[in-house]
Amino acid sequence: MEASPGGGRRARRTAALIAGAAVLGVVAGTCVGYLVQADREPTALPSLSQPSLAQAKGAGPEPLSAAQDRKVKVDGDLRKLLLKKPSGARKGLYTVGTDGWMDLTDYAETFGKPAVAFRNLIAEDEFRRAAATTWREGSTYSVEIRLIQYRQEESDGAAEDAAANEYYWADSAAEDTESWPVPGTGDGMAYVHHKPKSEYGVSVYSAEAHAWRGDIAVEIWISDTKPISRTKVLDLAKRQMERL
């Protein structure tokens, strides 16, 4: 059914009349209230004055330490929040950023379309900084962990959105994938891809975990020539989140 010409104006006019009647009703009611109150005997009201309260003495509470104050902790050296390399682990096969830091270009290069990722990380996601570590255990087991921190000045959900994006790709990237919640996180997830990919003639299995806390998104990537257990990826994710 089409609206008749001027219908919107008519609706506004009706609303205005109703509003005007309501205002007049309020005014009339207020006047009656004043007249009734004027005929009543005055009643005694309790005094507004109260006895003075003693001021607390002594020093105030001690400021929280960096270990207790999360804001101090996450605004410090982000690399110190990364899991430490296990005893006996060796350096990763490739270099991650510079001295443990990944700049915007380094991180954008980890995406399928680096140029698009670069623009989005600046314009929409408010990328602040990223820290990463990598190591090898044995001859084939490899781990990389990244902490991506966002400014969250315009939007306070950048880290959560980044993790949600990784959940989507992990769920849809490959067949034969199992997933489990990461303990101690709101919606963190760990994934094991049971179907290996062939790289340079070698079958490589992979697992990953993603979560977020505050303004930091966590990415964990594992690869091996042998199947990776659920226990390994969940243990890494749980211990990394405990450091945040």
Look at 86 and 4; give whichever has higher pLDDT: 86
pLDDT of residue 20: 39
Distance (Å, rounded) from C-alpha 221 to C-alpha 236?
10
What are the tens digits of pLDDT across the range 151-200? 988 777 899 999 999 999 998 866 789 999 999 998 999 999 999 999 88
Confidence of residue 75 (pLDDT cuts 50, 70, 90): confident
DSSP letters of 183-212?
TTSSS-EEEEEEEEEEETTEEEEEEEEEEE
Look at 80 and 70; give whichever has higher pLDDT: 80
* Four-way CATH pick for 70-242: 3.40.1000, 3.40.50, 1.10.3470, 3.40.600: 3.40.1000
Kindly report the average pLDDT of the chain as a whole number: 79
The pTM of this model reads 0.70
Domain regions of the chain by residue span: 70-242
CB 237 within 8 A of CB 220: yes
